[in-house]
Amino acid sequence: MICGYCQKVILRNLTVKEILFPWLLSDTELCSQCLRQFTPIQKDQACPRCMRSGEQDLCADCQRWQKQYPQRQFFHQALYQYDEAFANWLKEYKFGGDYRLRRTFQQQVRVALKGYRGFIICPIPLSQSRYQERGFNQTSAFLEASGVKTHTLLRRSSHDSPQSKKNRQERLALPQPYVLACSPELLIGKKILLVDDVYTTGRTLFHAADILWQHQPKEVRTFSLAR
């Protein structure tokens, strides 16, 4: 197998489970050296709503969202801290267009999303122009590489400059960019998981959730690789 980041061959002893069930053996995983670069978020040392590291109670971001959406329940899960190492990986994958890197976290994503059985998995969409520019939707790509079935529930109706080029206030002030891309009846009483690559201010995911909440889903939760 090869490392999903550095692309080097990984040599290791197989586990008993892998020997007995070889079809479960992935051809890609993170080598120990690359895995050490990323910092997992510790749930007991993070905001209970959005997993922002270094918080013991509800963070300032979540307090603001709670005031804006007082009738909504929201819970976010993220795997890694958005630090220099993750930013470097994202630069190569998302902005550098290294499509191979969609498989970097496939095992971690697969394990994490087992906790969302019964949820409709919806990746955050790109605008058509952004998709043509990049060649792929980075969120859809890492989900598909992890063997996760996804559904298109939303469409991005407006195109804007990348959020990476905006400051915090500019991100929070962005207008609603999404519209529904499926029959509203499909959402009634359903549990939905919105997935993005990174949770920064939460504006993108709350915009997306706001569209879905209008059509009576049972629950809307959110997930990202990094926070």
Same domain, 27 and 139: no
Instruction: State the pLDDT at residue 23.
Output: 52
What's the pLDDT at 18?
60
Q: What value does the mean pLDDT take over residues 128-139?
A: 94
pTM: 0.90
> Average pLDDT over the chain, rounded to whole?
92
Q: 179 and 215: one domain? A: yes
pLDDT digits (tens, 9 = 90+) for 50-99: 999 999 899 999 999 999 999 998 999 999 999 999 999 999 999 999 99
Q: How far is CA 132 from the centre of its chain?
A: 21
Q: Do 6 and 107 reside in the same domain of the chain?
A: no
Same domain? 178 vs 73:
yes
More confident residue, 177 or 13: 177
**Residues 48, 76 share a domain:** yes
* 4 plus 74 within the same structural domain: no
Query: Are 1 and 90 found together in one domain?
Result: no
Structural domains counted in the chain: 2
Determine the structural domain holding residue 31 and report its residue range: 1-36
State yes or no: pLDDT of 1 exceeds 90. no
Mean pLDDT of 21-31: 71
User: What pLDDT band is residue 132 in, cutting at 50, 70 and 90?
Assistant: very high
